[in-house]
Amino acid sequence: MSIDTSREEHDERLEELKAIVHDESYISGAILRIAHVLSEEIMDGIGVSYGGWK
């Protein structure tokens, strides 16, 4: 693979990411996924399982 091809692929990916950043539904979904993962990590860390203490 040449440097030019790598650069072209990089530029294409960058354009895709720029479009995603401006997609409100994608960003909303990403925020919800992050919140869900963090909530699970917090609950596991303090010993809570299915709404009750372990």
**Residues 1-54: pLDDT tens digits?**
456 679 999 999 999 999 999 999 999 999 999 999 988 888 887 766 666 655
State the pLDDT at residue 47.
67
Q: Are strands 52-53 and 48-49 parallel, antiparallel or unpaired?
A: antiparallel
Cα–Cα dist 25/17, whole Å: 14
- Whether this prediction's pTM lies above 0.75 is answered by no
State the pLDDT at residue 53.
58
> CA torsion, points 35, 37, 43, 49, in degrees to nearest 10?
120
State the pLDDT at residue 30.
95
State the pLDDT at residue 31.
96
- C-alpha distances (whole Å) from 50 to each of 9, 26, 27, 32, 47 are 45, 28, 28, 19, 10
State the pLDDT at residue 40.
85
